[in-house]
Structure 1
Amino acid sequence: MSETEGGPADAVSTPAYSSPAKSLGDPGITPLSPSHIAKDSDANDAVEQSFLVVVAIDFGTTSSGYAYSFSKEPECIHVMRRWEGGDPGVSNQKTPTTILLTPERKFHSFGYAARDFYHDLDPNESKHWLYFEKFKMKLHTTGNLTMETDLTAANGKKVKALEIFAYALQFFKEQALKELSDQAGSEFENSEVRWVITVPAIWKQPAKQFMRQAAYKAGMATPENPEQLIIALEPEAASIYCRKLRLHQMIDLSSKAPVNGYNASDTVGAGFTQGTSSTNRLEI
C-alpha cells in the first residue's frame, strides 16, 4: 500500500467541515430517504453523473465489508469478492474489523490477514506489534471525542484513533479500486467513485464528523469535494433497501413457526425499527 508508508493519505486539520447534507439540520450526515433524493435530484444531477460507481462500506464493530453498483445499473449490486483466510466452512463475505501495525507503527494488514498473522507471532515478538480489534464503538463511548483521541492496542500502546480509522478506510478504498479495475480491465480512479460509509443511528454528531475526517485522511474525498463522500445512517439505508425488494423476495415472518421459543420476527432489531420511524418522519 503505497500511501501507508508514511501514514494514511494526506493529514487533515481538526476543524469540522460541512457536508452536502441539505436537510435534518445535520451538517455531517446526508439523508438517504427517497423523499430527500426526489427533492434534490435536479441539484445533484451534475454531481451524480461525474461518478461511475458507488461503493458502500459497512464498517462494523465485529466484521466489515463493502458492496458497489455502477451508475448505469444502480439496482445491480455487487458484493465484494470473498476474503481469503477465516475459519473453515464459514462464509467469508465480510472480514473481521481488526488491524495490525508493525512495531514501527506502519500499516501491516487488516481483517483475517491481521488476525491470523498476529496470532501466529511468537508471544515475545507479538508484544512489539500493535493489534486492534472491535474499536469502532470507541467513537460512541468516548464522551469527549476529538481528533486527538487515542486507541489502545493489545500490547497497551496508544495510537491516534484517527490514524487507525484512516488506515482501515484506506484499506477498503484500495481493495475496492483494485476489484473495480480488475473487473473493468483498466485502471479505476478514485475520482470516479462516490463513497458511502454507514454509521449507527445512535452515534452523536462528533462521531459522524470524526468518520468523515478519517475518510478524508484516507484519501476517499476532500473537504473541497465533500459530495464524493456520504455518511449514511445504517437503519435508514436498510429501510431503503427493503423498499427496493421485489414482492417475491419478501418473507412473511408471521407464517413461520417459532423455533426454540423464538419467532423469526423477534430478531428484528431496534435499529431497523428506528430506521422505519426515521423514514416515516422524513416523509411528513
Structure 2
Amino acid sequence: MSMGVDKKYALLDTDFLYKSHVARNAANHTLTDFVMEFTDYEFFCHEMIKEELTRHEVVPDPNPWLEDKIQSGTVKIYSDRDIVTELGKIYGTSATSMYLTLLQTSCDTFNTGFFEKYYGSMSDMDNLEDVEIFLAVLKTCDDGVPSQNGMGEKKTYVLIQMMEILHSNRVYVFCSDDFRARRSITSLTKPVHCISILGVFYKLMKMGHGKSEMQEYYNRLSAFLKNQTEYRVWSASGQQRIRVPIQQVFDDLYDGKFQMLRNGDLQYIK
C-alpha cells in the first residue's frame, strides 16, 4: 500500500462485485482479482452487501470470495455501528444525528419520500445521542423496509458520504455500468470518483494487459449480460451517449479511442 496523501479509498458496490466476479478466465481468475492488485487503493464495503449478493443468486457465488478478502484484511467491512463510531471521532455526541442526515441524503438520492416513510420517526427520537438506543431503533426501521427496495445501495451511500468526510476527494466507487447508479453517486453533494467495469478494462489495458488475455474476461461478462448487446458511451463532443455494440467497445478501447471520465464513463477522444 502506498501511504499518505496518495492513498485512495475504494468502495466495492454490489453490482460491481457480482459482475466482476462472473468476468473470469478458464483458470477462474476473476476481474475482481485484478482489482485487488491495484495497490494504490484501500477497499471497503457495507456489510449489507453480503445480503444483497446472496439475493442476486449469482453463480458462482461471490460471497465466499468476499468473505476470504474480509478475513485477510484486503477488504474492510463496515457496519452501521462502525459508521457511527467513525462519525463520533469528528462529531462527538452528534454522530447519530449526522448518520441520519447522511441516510436521508442517501434515500432522497434514490426515492423521494422513502426516508420519511421508513425512517421519519427517528428524527423525533428522544435519546438520539444514545448510540445503543439509536442503533436498536435503526435496526427496527431497517427491518421494516421490503427486501427488494435496495437497502444495500442506500447504506452504501451512507458509507460513501462518511468516507468523503474522512478522506475528502480521495474516495472512489467501483460500480457497475448502470448509468443511473453512477449518476446518483456523482450527484451527491461532493461528487465521488467512479470506476465502472468498462473503466476497469480501460485501466488494465493502460497497465499493459493484452487484448487477447482480457477478451476472455470480457466474453464471460458479455455472456452473463445475455440480453444486453450494446454499451452506452459518450460521443467525442460529450453532448450525447451513444449505443455501441459490446464487442466494438472492447475493440475501440484497445485501439486507444477512449478516455475515461471522472464518473467512470468512457468517452471517444476527438
Q: TM-score range by the shorter chain?
A: 0.3 to 0.5
Structure (1/2) with the larger helix percentage? 2
TM-score by length of 1: 0.33
TM-score by length of 2: 0.35
